[in-house]
Amino acid sequence: MSAPHRDDQDEPGSATPAALPGQDHHRGGALLPQSTVAALWAVRHGQSTANVAFAEAERTGSADLPVTGRDSDVPLSALGRAQARTLTGWLADHAPGTGPDLVVCSPYARARQTWEAMAAAAPDVPVLVDERLRDREMGVFELYPPGALAARAPDEAARRALLGEWSYRPPGGEALADVALRIRDFTTELTGAAAGRRVLLVAHDAVVIALRYVLAGIGAPVPHDLPPVPNASVTHWRGDGHHLRLAHWGQTDHLTRH
């Protein structure tokens, strides 16, 4: 289990430049984007069958393609379904008027199945599906484990290693930087459409990483070395009426409590 990451306080003695009218500063000097969303949670889906297959391929050193079909159709594993059920307990633990009052879900099967398991704890909360919350698209290398990419397209694997995940764009696919562009568009629209709302997103690790970068504001560093985003984890931003500030990163304690 990964330890929760706290980012809701400035470092002692850190200097913050004066803000321009209508703007604020994130720790480190970045300008936080305006947001009137009251609270934002981002849940990564539970373990998927592709997560299991990729881990096994890495363990054995296999260059096979262990998953067929479309990435968007990959379902939860048995463990992933159990993890999703624990998120029901996390959702039910919120006192009245403090939990999500709007859910926006990725269109991918594993995210929708995660919400379907959670929904029993919030049957009256409206749910929307938004295409911008889909997982990172890998183009012609969709559903390729790293070992298969290295064996079948070594030049491409070398280019990926050279550029890093933030900048590497597979043919027909997206870099994490591209995911951030659509997430920036989504959060900008959310600010106007969900003012004062407490919003839960059910999506993917790439989306959570992109959210952290976008909500950190103008001038924020590229998130090359973030802690992982575990399956069924919860990341939380608190709103103050003007901005969203990161409070908890990748929390998983509910997986052992419930």
| Cα separation, 245 vs 227, whole angstroms | 18
| β-bridge pairing 127-129 and 102-105 | parallel
Whether 55 is covered by a domain: the verdict is no
Whether 105 is covered by a domain: the verdict is yes
Whether 1 is covered by a domain: the verdict is no
Whether 37 is covered by a domain: the verdict is yes
Whether 62 is covered by a domain: the verdict is no
Whether 30 is covered by a domain: the verdict is yes
Whether 53 is covered by a domain: the verdict is no
Residues 151, 121: contact at Cβ < 8 Å?
A: no
What is the phi/psi pair of residue 61, to 5°?
75, 20
Reduced to 3 states (helix: H, G, I; strand: E, B; else coil), residue 250 is: strand
Domain total of the chain? 1
* Residue 17 reports pLDDT greater than 60: no
CATH number, domain with residue 218: 3.40.50.1240
Range of the domain at 87: 24-47+77-138+164-257
Residues 135, 106: contact at Cβ < 8 Å?
A: yes
Of 194, 204, 192, the residue nearest 106 (C-alpha): 204
pLDDT digits (tens, 9 = 90+) for 126-174: 999 999 999 999 999 999 999 999 999 999 999 999 999 999 999 999 9
pLDDT digits (tens, 9 = 90+) for 90-103: 999 999 999 999 99
Whether 233 is covered by a domain: the verdict is yes
pLDDT band at 19 (very low <50, low <70, confident <90, very high): very low
pLDDT digits (tens, 9 = 90+) for 164-190: 999 999 999 999 999 999 999 999 999
* Residue 15 reports pLDDT greater than 70: no
* Tokens 């000097």, located at residue: 29
| Cα separation, 86 vs 82, whole angstroms | 7
| Cα separation, 54 vs 67, whole angstroms | 8
